[in-house]
Amino acid sequence: MAFFVHHFCRRFSTSAVRNVAIKHVTVIGGGQMGAGIAQVAASTGHSVTVVDTNDDILQKAVKGIEGSLKRVVKKKFADKPEAADAFIQSVLQNVSTSTDAESVVQHSDLVVEAIVENLKIKQDVFGRLDKAAPAHTIFTSNTSSLPISDIASATNRLDRFGGLHFFNPVPMMKLVEVIGTSATSQETFDSLLNFSKALGKTPVSCKDTPGFIVNRLLVPYMMEAIRLHERGHGSKEDIDIAMKLGAGYPMGPFELGDYVGLDTLKFIMDGWNAMDSENQLFVPSELLNKLVAEGKFGRKSGEGFYKYK
Ligand code: CAA
Ligand code: NAD
């Protein structure tokens, strides 16, 4: 329940450690979000290292970045194939990969964590990185739903810890939610706002409350669509068509759930339900739980509510 309390006063930095310009970024997790964050950071001149658990995943992440860059340059360099190739190469030169997070962070100004939505795993990673990273390094999580202050509690750099919440697909979505806890220093918060702008994104300032702004509205909407379907009040296809054509959404709620990842959606709901089981908006869905138990995570696994090639 403490998480529901708004923190209106942000502590100004009492630390002697000053933030420096962000040049090198470590992205922990090379999945959908980590690869996208690495891509936009590298495209805007930052040197980026993506860290994941094995080289196969990292190779897939770099391939994903290359594929996405090819889509980006189609518009950016429409009739200039050589300039397009040169841009892709220059961005890829800014990206390196590693499975050794502790050694990478020794040279990093910023860490952006985008691993599985699990508090204990995130805390474990940050606890280890805190010992390895220089004092000036800012730590951030891209969590969809977990309290930033809970993740930060595994470290001794509470004033240099915040949230940077990106949206999927990162190269296309213009928003970044910048989250400060009651302990995040103003200097750190300003660095995160400036970093988001340097990526070409529009930041909004958020309190450390469940789902920040977007997910607090978007996740209950997706869940209510699933419950509507479970009650037999509409096929998923009709619900998707209805929200696209009747409300102007680019994707219907089932398409969007598959796009986000049904595992991630379930982790979010389970966490919120554990926090506030009385809230009807946080009631779990049997259908969602069944799909996840069957390994149907959406687009990333080839099947979710729909099948993908
Ligand atoms: N990389 C680069 N370019 C991409 C891309 C990617 N990953 N995905 C799409 N694009 C580009 C395409 O190349 C295409 O460019 P052109 O217009 O130049 O051809 C353009 O985007 C449109 O793509 P498509 O024609 O394939 O499809 P679309 O028009 O449906 O757009 C979309 C795709 C941008 C993803 C759009 O469907 C959309 O905005 N969907 C909603 C996404 C959304 O709501 N995201 C938030 C999810 S919630 C979240 O992220 C938070 C959380 O914590 C869970
Ligand atoms: P994903 O499953 O696509 O990728 C997660 C990656 O993290 C995997 O490659 C996995 O191997 C790696 N990983 C797991 N544990 C690790 C560890 N200890 N060290 C290094 N790498 C590790 O997930 P995703 O969709 O990219 O989501 C990542 C985070 O971003 C989650 O916290 C999620 O809630 C959040 N998020 C997701 C979306 C979305 O739409 N998918 C949007 C915004 C935020």
Distance in angstroms (rounded) separating the CA atoms of residues 297 and 304? 5
Which of 149, 177, 229, 255 is an active site residue?
177
- According to the model, what pLDDT value does residue 78 have? 86
Express as a percent the part of the chain with pLDDT over 70: 94
Of the residues 175, 207, 239, which one is the last residue of a structural domain? 207
Distance from Cα 261 to the centre of ligand 2, integer Å: 10
Encode 117-142: b = buried (16+ Cβ within 10 Å), e = exposed: bebeebbebbeebbeebeeebbbbbb
Residues near 85 by Cβ (< 8 Å), separated by ≥ 6? Answer: none
Same domain, residue pair 244 and 201: no
Helices 286-293 + 214-230 axis angle, to 10: 90
Same domain, residue pair 199 and 271: no
| Residues 207 and 185 sit within 8 Å (Cβ to Cβ) | no
Task: For residue 20, name the pLDDT band (cuts at 50, 70, 90).
Answer: confident
Same domain, residue pair 75 and 174: yes
Whether 251 has a pLDDT exceeding 80, the answer reads yes
Asked if residue 37 is part of any domain, the answer here is yes
Whether 4 has a pLDDT exceeding 60, the answer reads no
Which atom of ligand 2 lies nearest, measured to the CA of 143?
32
Enumerate helices (H) and strands (E) in the chain, giving the number of each: 12, 8
Give the model confidence (pLDDT) of 157-187 as tens digits: 999 999 999 999 999 999 999 999 999 999 9
Domain at 271, CATH number: 1.10.1040.10
Average pLDDT, the chain: 94
CB atoms within 10 A of CB 187: 17
Q: What is the pTM of this model?
A: 0.94
Of the residues 161, 180, 207, which one is the last residue of a structural domain? 207
Asked if residue 112 is part of any domain, the answer here is yes
Q: Domains in the chain: how many in total? A: 2
| Residues whose beta carbon lies within 6 Å of some atom of ligand 1 | 68, 71-72, 74-75, 144, 167-169, 171-173, 215, 218, 250-251, 256, 260
Q: Which residue from 43, 70, 71, 166 has its CB within 8 A of the most atoms of ligand 1, so it is best to mutate? A: 71
Asked if residue 6 is part of any domain, the answer here is no
| Residues 285 and 269 sit within 8 Å (Cβ to Cβ) | yes
Same domain, residue pair 138 and 37: yes
- According to the model, what pLDDT value does residue 17 have? 66
Question: Which residues constitute the domain of residue 293?
Answer: 215-299
Distance from Cα 14 to the centre of ligand 2, integer Å: 32
Of the residues 191, 207, 223, which one is the last residue of a structural domain? 207
- State mean pLDDT over 279-307: 97
Give the model confidence (pLDDT) of 55-88 as tens digits: 999 999 999 999 999 999 998 898 899 999 999 9
- According to the model, what pLDDT value does residue 63 have? 98
Domain at 186, CATH number: 3.40.50.720
Same domain, residue pair 185 and 226: no
Asked if residue 7 is part of any domain, the answer here is no
Same domain, residue pair 193 and 229: no
Between residues 17 and 191, the one the model is more confident about: 191
Task: Scan for tokens 């090639």, then name that residue.
Answer: 309
